[in-house]
Amino acid sequence: MTISRSRIFKLLQCGEGLNIEFKKCRDKLTLDVYQTICAFLNRHGGTLLLGVDDSGRITGVDPSAVAQIKKDFVTTINNPQKIHPPAYLSVDEVQVQEQIVLHVYVPESSQVHRCNGRIYDRNEDGDLDITDNTILVSELYQRKQATYSENKVYPYAGLDDLRSDLMDKCRRLAGVWRNDHPWLNMDDMELIKSAQLYQTLKPAKTA
């Protein structure tokens, strides 16, 4: 997705909020970038602008660091040890006022994500660690299950019940998005596990 300079200015005018976050990140990414990504995924999605301070002033990303920042970002969000389940996002580079701004659009996810083992949710213009708040975590899971049909459990469905032609279509669409998308080299079972559509239930404890 290519974003225009006019769109960047509109985002700057809106200021930070539930769906918009600014980070300076002059020459490297900080941990709170991934906490924001996690919170956006768990809430209603959002837009992250790198090279902008909290007030909305463009500070820019160091041109010599852009390539490494992009590489580090993609590597980290695809690392299940950092973001789980992994997310597939891209970074757009925009020249604004002779400065480089990096734009990341984060869609709402059907899954509950963790960053370094912690669950973050978006609260106004901040990222809230709700991991130890059982009520908020429960509400988050309930909202996801109520919103997305793929969270409905079909305990007796097997791989043979799935349409192989639709699995192939998923791979083709993923390949259009990214020619190195990991789904391209996965078999059907690996793909549905990667998409968080398959899980093994633990047996109930006996008294």
Q: Can you give the pLDDT at residue 175? A: 85
Say whether domain 5-144 belongs to CATH 3.30.950.30: yes
State the DSSP string of 68-102.
Answer: HHHHHHHHHHT-TTTEES------EEEEETTEEEE
Lowest mean pLDDT among 34-43, 59-68, 155-164: 155-164
Would you say residue 31 has pLDDT above 50?
yes
Domain ranges, ordered by start, for the chain: 5-144, 155-207
Q: How far apart are CA 4 and CA 21, in angstroms?
A: 18
Q: Can you give the pLDDT at residue 149? A: 63
Q: Can you give the pLDDT at residue 207? A: 44
Q: Can you give the pLDDT at residue 134? A: 92
